[in-house]
Amino acid sequence: MENVVSLVNVNKNYVLGKTTVSALQNVSLSVARGDFISIAGPSGSGKTTLLNLIGCVDIATSGQVIINGNDTHDLKDRQLTDLRLNTIGFIFQSFNLVSVLSVFQNVEFPLLLQQKLSAEERKSRVMELLRKVGIENHAKHRPNELSGGQRQRVAIARALVTRPAIILADEPTANLDSKTGETIIDLMKEMNQIEKTTFIFSTHDQRVMSHADTIINIADGRILESYKPGKIKSIKNISPKSKSAKKSRPQSSTKLAKKKI
């Protein structure tokens, strides 16, 4: 099956004064089109840094990051922006909806940036997605009139509206209660199956992990193992877990960058 994401011997370092912090170490990873993958690990393990590299909001210090056939190291800023806009959708744990826009307008916004569809085509696509995520009756509401679960449904529709190859979700259920969180993961899985879109999401919640097709465990910036829920299968040729003490990471690297999409 075709790989939509491929990382080969990727390292990511941050310089803090006279100290160099290694956020990712010798990471290799392949994700096939249509996969539904959970990246699991404790805070500071490198989950968000990994999503940042896949999402083209950061560049690896060394190694290859290939997204939908594009080696990100060879791309200029404008090309990276186009890749984010047309190939990748983002779902944030804090929703990141525009408060002055309606639900419909929030979901429509990425299509306005693309400038590819007519107003009628945009309306048709937005309403189709709002129906799929079960929130079409709230199309004219503002985000502050919605519950947390409803806001995340809007965020999922917005991420899907450009029909991206990949959707990245950084702790998408962290701000939701457990029941709502499981409902949102079920919805993401349903959209994965309907739209055939690749989903990669980070979490440290065991209940959320159980919904994934594959779980990738990461700690101290290294991938430790990859397995199907219920059956562990260690990755071959992975370097041993770092024995060094946990290092603090710069705040800018541990929050999925909020760039325009």
How do the domains of the chain map onto residue ranges? 35-44+75-242
Chain-centroid distance of CA 151 in Å reads 17
Chain-centroid distance of CA 216 in Å reads 14
Q: What is the mean pLDDT of residues 27-40?
A: 95
Task: Please state, in angstroms and rounded to a whole number, the distance separating the CA atoms of residues 72 and 7.
Answer: 10
What backbone torsions phi and psi does residue 10 show, to the nearest 5 degrees?
A: -85, 135
pLDDT of residue 182: 84
Q: What is the mean pLDDT of residues 209-235?
A: 83
Q: What is the mean pLDDT of residues 83-108?
A: 94
Task: Please state, in angstroms and rounded to a whole number, the distance separating the CA atoms of residues 190 and 185.
Answer: 9
Task: Kindly tell me if the per-residue pLDDT of 261 is higher than 50.
Answer: no
CATH superfamily of the domain spanning 35-44+75-242? P-loop containing nucleotide triphosphate hydrolases (3.40.50.300)
Specify the DSSP class assigned to residue 62. Answer: E
Could you tell me where the beta strands, DSSP code E, fall in the chain? 3-16, 19-32, 36-40, 62-67, 70-71, 88-92, 166-170, 198-203, 214-219, 222-228, 231-233
Task: Kindly tell me if the per-residue pLDDT of 31 is higher than 60.
Answer: yes
Range in 63-72, 119-128, 165-174, 180-189 with the lowest mean pLDDT: 180-189
Instruction: Determine contact, residues 197/165, Cβ cutoff 8 Å.
Output: yes
Instruction: Determine contact, residues 32/3, Cβ cutoff 8 Å.
Output: yes
Tokens of 153: 């449904």
Question: What is the pTM (predicted TM-score) of this model?
Answer: 0.82
Tokens of 87: 């190939």
